[in-house]
């Protein structure tokens, strides 16, 4: 099949911006739309609501949000800092606009302002499954062995040993037969550079092993895969009970002091359900790519999967609310305060970036390749 024409199904809050490649290899650039970019900013702030009764006050309480912001927030913040004089004089609005254009419009690396993540998906087609699997295994061997890895699928060439490696090809004399004489100088420089790399590989391998970094075979989506395991340099979470620094909010039930952890009853905002913390692991694991039939599927988006939050991570709804009434009597007059507060929800329901959605993208690719 022509993978350049591969159509992948994306969840509704993901979009493709560009793709590049050939008949057998494609890199697809996609981005995730942050739901906060689609919400009226006013709904994210405390503000009074109109009331027809002078004895009834109504207020809309701000929605506590996760610390996952659309890129537009960066631009707005920098623009405000420049206008307020907080930035160095040489950092002008023009420089900011140039930076913004580079961040959002660079071909094949676009990241629109409504996004919170932009990344690539890679699909490579090989002649058969054996060749594809060897090519994928080489990804795990080359960081420690350099070019001293088998040719994919055990490919042989006339006059060369059956167990030849990529280094044998790149450093041997065979390439000279296919390169014009005027380019032989460039070939010599390349071969010298490869020789230098190969000389450093034993030390690199030793350092990686000492550090605890290793490449291994495993499975993802029920497919053979190559993983990179590396030490987790973050300390284990403290087992000591945390002390709260939240302040009780006063006045009209406004929720300005409430954080994403929930209010515990402040301002009538329902507390978020408790979620078991992610088990601590001394090892960080990254999938470098997986094999499906004669295809290698990977890309930076796949590498990020294990670091994404789960879809059932609690948060507050951007649209669902309830009314909380507070009644007071002053001088024989009944005063009613109504706070419109957000209801508990989770990342998947609200459209925040989460692990299962990215997994679904890759599973859809497998289904698409299976049907071709």
Q: What is the pLDDT of residues 307-364, one digit of tens each?
A: 899 999 999 999 999 999 888 888 788 888 888 999 999 999 999 999 999 999 999 9
Beta strands in the chain (DSSP E): 14-21, 25-33, 47-49, 56-60, 115-125, 214-220, 223-231, 283-292, 295-298, 314-330, 333-346
What backbone torsions phi and psi does residue 294 show, to the nearest 5 degrees? -105, 30
Query: How do residues 119-129 score in pLDDT, each as one tens digit?
Result: 999 999 999 99
- Residue-level pLDDT at 283: 85
For the chain, where are the alpha helices, taking DSSP H only?
Answer: 72-83, 93-105, 129-145, 166-171, 184-211, 300-303, 347-350, 355-370
Q: How far apart are CA 144 and CA 201, in angstroms?
A: 6
Tell whether the model's pLDDT for residue 250 goes beyond 80. Answer: no
User: What pTM was estimated for this model as a whole?
Assistant: 0.77
β-partners of residue 57 are: 337
Q: How far apart are CA 6 and CA 26, in angstroms?
A: 8
- Residue-level pLDDT at 259: 38
- Residue-level pLDDT at 133: 92
Tell whether the model's pLDDT for residue 143 goes beyond 80. Answer: no
156 or 255: which leads in pLDDT: 156
Query: How do residues 161-198 score in pLDDT, each as one tens digit?
Result: 556 666 665 666 656 655 666 666 676 777 677 777 77
């Amino acid at each position: 099949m022509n993978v350049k024409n591969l159509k992948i199904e994306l969840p509704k809050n993901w979009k493709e911006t560009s793709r590049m490649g050939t008949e057998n290899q494609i890199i697809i650039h996609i981005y995730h739309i942050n739901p906060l970019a689609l919400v009226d900013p006013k709904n994210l702030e405390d503000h009074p609501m109109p009331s027809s009764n002078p004895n009834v006050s109504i207020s809309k309480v701000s929605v506590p949000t996760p610390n996952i912001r659309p890129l537009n927030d960066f631009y707005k913040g920098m623009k405000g800092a420049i206008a307020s004089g907080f930035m160095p004089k040489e950092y002008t609005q023009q420089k900011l606009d140039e930076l913004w254009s580079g961040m959002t419009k660079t071909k094949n690396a676009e990241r629109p302002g409504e996004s919170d993540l932009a990344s690539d998906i890679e699909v490579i087609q090989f002649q058969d499954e054996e060749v594809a699997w060897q090519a994928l295994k080489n990804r795990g061997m080359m960081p420690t062995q350099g070019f001293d890895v088998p040719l994919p699928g055990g490919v042989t060439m006339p006059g060369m040993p059956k167990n030849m490696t990529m280094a044998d090809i790149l450093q041997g004399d065979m390439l000279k037969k296919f390169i014009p004489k005027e380019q032989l100088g460039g070939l010599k420089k390349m071969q010298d550079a490869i020789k230098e790399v190969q000389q450093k590989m034993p030390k690199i391998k030793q350092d990686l092993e000492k550090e605890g970094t290793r490449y291994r075979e495993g499975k993802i989506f029920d497919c053979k895969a190559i993983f990179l395991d590396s030490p987790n340099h973050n300390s284990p979470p403290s087992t000591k009970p945390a002390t709260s620094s939240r302040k009780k909010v006063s006045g009209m039930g406004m929720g300005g002091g409430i954080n994403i952890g929930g209010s515990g009853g402040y301002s009538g905002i329902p507390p978020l359900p408790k979620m078991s913390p992610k088990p601590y692991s001394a090892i960080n694991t990254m999938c470098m790519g997986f094999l499906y039939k004669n295809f290698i599927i990977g890309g930076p988006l796949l590498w990020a999967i294990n670091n994404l939050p789960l879809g059932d991570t609690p948060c507050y709804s951007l649209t669902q609310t309830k009314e909380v009434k507070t009644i007071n009597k002053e001088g024989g007059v009944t005063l009613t305060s109504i706070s419109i507060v957000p209801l508990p929800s989770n990342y998947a329901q609200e459209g925040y970036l989460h692990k299962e959605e990215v997994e679904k993208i890759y599973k859809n690719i497998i289904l698409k390749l299976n049907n071709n």
